[in-house]
Amino acid sequence: MSLDHPTLRVLIVDNQDSKLALPQRLAAQGWQLVVQKLDALDPSQWPDVGIIHIPAPNQFDALNAVSHQLQEGSYIALCSKQALACEKIQTLIRNTFHDYCEDTVPTQRFAQSLERLLSESRPRIEQLTTPPLILGSSTAMTELRHKLSIYGRTELPVLLQGESGTGKECAAQWVHQHSSRRDQPFIALNCAAIPDNQFSIELFGFEKGAFAGASRRHQGKIHVAEGGTLFLDEIGDLSQTSQATLLRFLESNLYTPLGGSHEQLSDVRIICASNHNLDEEVAAGNFRLDLFHRLNVLGLNLPSLRTHREDIPVLAEHFLNQHEPQVVLDRSALDALMAHDFPGNVRELRNCLLRAAVNNRHGIIRDEDLGLSPCDQSEPATQTLTQYRNRQESHYIRQCLKDCQNNVQEAADRLKISRSSLYRLIEKHHIPLP
């Protein structure tokens, strides 16, 4: 799927002086945007759906001039109270817009309106789907979405590595939905949950009568994913025997179900993920080098949440908007979240917020409601030595920069490294600078 597919392109018309930061807020929700200003509209570039901010009644003339194009698409008017009080604006909305909402609503609320708009426009705009959820406007997450979109345009295998809870399956779904296989199945298989002697059966299936108790034919995941994408999660937990089985399939794309007599040719794209560092697993002899090279054609490391803490507010808003009745964070709770290390990453953040929301009786979550404590910030037991070193290095550099008020030269002097070396470490750990 190219980036100009209607599923991903959403028009955002924002006022020149708007303080809503509408494009940035929706980009952080994962939407691919066509951004224009109210004083420089170009309807020839408009996709079929979008949100148009009307901050004041004096915007009527600019929008009325393109009312025909507005009627041809499906657009939401995001209006100030002053604009909604204007009779001409009300008439324009009734005649040309699909829906409207006030510009004081949370980002997630009008993102949900946009999703409904896509769904309701489906008879006229074929097979529209919203993108998978990869939230955040930080440099790390923006680059992640960009790379995943590029990877989607190829047929090459993708290897996603990262700590537990960083969203590797969401990333795999993003690649699939940006690919030419988007209308075909996306099938996930958790390799860590399969006994070693069952892996080939799960992958290839079996014929009726293949073994005692095989009373009917069972289709394997490769057959179910035919034409689409097979996502193999926790690939690093495969035994040497299962690794050899997978390697043989990847080399030929041929397989034979257990009890079958004929080889079958498969057309699936393979995306794998692991929370182990497979380079280290190869060096330790736990993972086959030839299989690693087969899988790691397009490799990508997903950033841990502590390396893009600036995305915590938008993530928190999203998760809390999933809960009814609505609850909000006070400043102390947000500060506590921003200071926490989150060894469980986004999954831990989500569980923490939803737990606090369920137990909350006042509609406001405070820091004591989150249940975070120093012991929660202990290192995950499954991390490798390299992951531990990277976490400590990142934490120390962040603290040093904070003590030096983000003066890079002063921090480099204190760390006794060159300024260029510190910049490389800042980039490595995705540390934001003002």
- 3-state DSSP assignment of residue 6: coil
Q: What is the pLDDT of residues 291-348, one digit of tens each?
A: 999 999 999 999 999 999 988 988 888 888 777 788 888 888 888 899 888 888 998 9
DSSP for residue 58: G
Euclidean distance between CA atoms 20 and 54, whole angstroms: 11
- Residue 133: what pLDDT? 66
Tally Cβ neighbours within 10 Å of residue 334: 16
pLDDT score of 113? 64
Instruction: Report pLDDT for 229.
Output: 95
**Run of H or E residues at 205:** strand 205-206
Q: Residue 261: what pLDDT?
A: 82
- Whether the CB-CB separation of 233 and 168 falls below 8 Å is answered with yes
Nearest Cα to 13, choosing from 4, 22, 5? 22
Given a contact cutoff of 8 angstroms between Cβ atoms, the answer to whether 191 and 232 are in contact is yes
CA–CA separation, 89 and 274 (whole Å): 53
CB distance 63 to 92 below 8 Å: yes
pTM of the predicted model over 0.85: no
Q: Residues 294-307, buried b or exposed e (16+ Cβ, 10 A)?
A: bbbebbbebbbbbb
Q: What local confidence, expressed as pLDDT, does residue 114 receive? A: 64
Q: Are the C-beta atoms of 208 and 216 separated by less than 8 Å?
A: yes
pLDDT of 262 reads 87
Residue ranges, the chain, pLDDT below 70: 1-9, 15-22, 25-26, 28-31, 105-133, 373-388, 434
Cα separation, 160 vs 55, in Å, equals 43
pLDDT of residue 7: 42
Cβ atoms of residues 301 and 429 within 8 Å: no
- In tens, the pLDDT along 48-107 reads 788 888 888 888 888 888 888 787 777 888 888 888 888 888 888 877 887 777 777 666
Q: Which domains are delineated in the chain?
A: 9-120 (3.40.50.2300), 139-301 (3.40.50.300), 324-377 (no CATH), 385-428 (1.10.10)
